[in-house]
Amino acid sequence: MSSPLAPKFGRYEDLSRYMQSIPGQMQLCEHFEKLEGDDKVTLREYCLNHKLKKTSFWRLLEKNKELKKSGINNFRDTLGRPPILDSLAKSALVQSLINKKRAQKSQKAGVSFGAEIRAQCEKSHDLSGNAGTAYKVSSRTVNRIKQEINASSVVSQTKSEARIFAESDPRNNFTMAAMLYAFTCMLVPYMIFNWDATQYSITEDTDKKVIIIKQEGDNQPATSQSAGTVAVSIKHFHFHNAAAEVAPPVFLIADDSLGPEDFPEPIRCGDLGASSDISSYGWICFTKTRNGNKAFYDWFVRGVVCPFICQVREKHADLCKVQQIFLPPPSYYITFI
């Protein structure tokens, strides 16, 4: 009875279907090696007779020879080699990505993710006794493994190490919640104000893609630590209340040619308002650094913050009368700042 690894194929039979499975590939290699050993056929003739792609079949034969030299007599995947990652290695890779996201040091997409797959591949092969059989991991393989472990590429937000540390400390969240409750529990939304600044930077850190594993209930955005290099930055000051009423935004741009205390006349710009309304506008300001100086903050409080508070109080005068005790006059804000 003939061996299952040496089947009797017809001389001109279409054998392309055997390339679709590991057992079929093993049969093809065994069949060709027997015919080649008897000097009955060349590789070119064999592929033409059996409708096989010469390059793909040649690669399969080469992989088969390498495996036999390593003492491995059976295929493991469609290319005739041990799998890049076994189930344990894939689990370790998934856990590594989850831990890095929690630590806000997400795995970069591309080269570094491929390097981690190669490291897991070598470890996996060493543990399985197949040391030395690891192959180069192509970008196609990296993408396939990414799909297999349910990973995805996203653009991470970039923050400084200090900000990451501060936002990760639960004491800051508890303190903020207690503070907000203490002074807003008896105020209407119109009189709850928030003043903050956001920095837009053009640096080497922009559009950094990372690999993450999405977990149920995990809404934390992917975050990467900034390299600390800043080329151009704009600080955007915004001031609004809890009723979604917004003051004119202020854009502060650093100009190193200015002196530490210099503050040129702010520029009013109708195209930078918080809405598309024709009366909406914003301000462009310049100081030596994006941190501003005393003259800038004096103008900001007197020219933006206080006028906005006065407008809100006038607009909602009836509500403000009820809570007059909680509303110090505008001069108080200027003195306090």
**CA 84/CA 120 separation, integer angstroms:** 9
**CA 275/CA 240 separation, integer angstroms:** 13
State the pLDDT at residue 326: 46
300, containing H or E segment:
helix 294-300
Band of residue 327 on the pLDDT scale cut at 50, 70, 90: very low
For residue 324, pLDDT over 60 is answered with no
| Cα 132 to chain centroid, rounded | 33
State the pLDDT at residue 202: 64
Between 287 and 159, the higher pLDDT residue: 287
pLDDT in tens, 27-75: 888 888 878 766 678 888 888 888 888 888 888 888 777 766 655 554 4
**CA 36/CA 30 separation, integer angstroms:** 10
Average pLDDT over residues 158-173: 77
Between 281 and 234, the higher pLDDT residue: 281
In percent, the amount of the chain with pLDDT more than 90 equals 13
Average pLDDT over residues 232-256: 88
DSSP-derived 3-state class of residue 120:
helix
Band of residue 261 on the pLDDT scale cut at 50, 70, 90: very high
Q: For the chain, what are the domain ranges? A: 1-81, 87-149, 158-336
Band of residue 228 on the pLDDT scale cut at 50, 70, 90: low
Which residues, 6 or more positions from 259, have their beta carbon under 8 angstroms from its beta carbon?
288
For the record, the structure tokens of 6 come out as 């040496």
State the pLDDT at residue 124: 66
Average pLDDT over residues 14-34: 79
State the pLDDT at residue 262: 94
For residue 140, pLDDT over 60 is answered with yes
State the pLDDT at residue 335: 42
How far CA 244 is from CA of 91, 177, 240, 313, 323, in Å, comes to: 46, 20, 7, 14, 20
Q: CA 98, 100, 104, 108 torsion: positive or negative?
A: negative
For residue 80, pLDDT over 50 is answered with no
pLDDT in tens, 275-309: 888 888 999 999 998 889 999 999 999 999 999 99
Q: What is this structure's pTM?
A: 0.43
DSSP-derived 3-state class of residue 250:
strand
Angle 125-130-132 from CA coordinates, rounded to 5°: 85
Q: CA 155, 159, 165, 170 torsion: positive or negative?
A: negative
For residue 311, pLDDT over 70 is answered with yes
Going through the chain in order, the beta strands assigned E by DSSP cover 107-108, 151-155, 157-159, 193-202, 209-213, 223-225, 232-241, 250-254, 267-269, 282-287
Q: Are 145 and 117 in contact (CB under 8 A)?
A: yes
**CA 249/CA 241 separation, integer angstroms:** 13
**CA 6/CA 37 separation, integer angstroms:** 13
State the pLDDT at residue 248: 93
**CA 280/CA 273 separation, integer angstroms:** 5
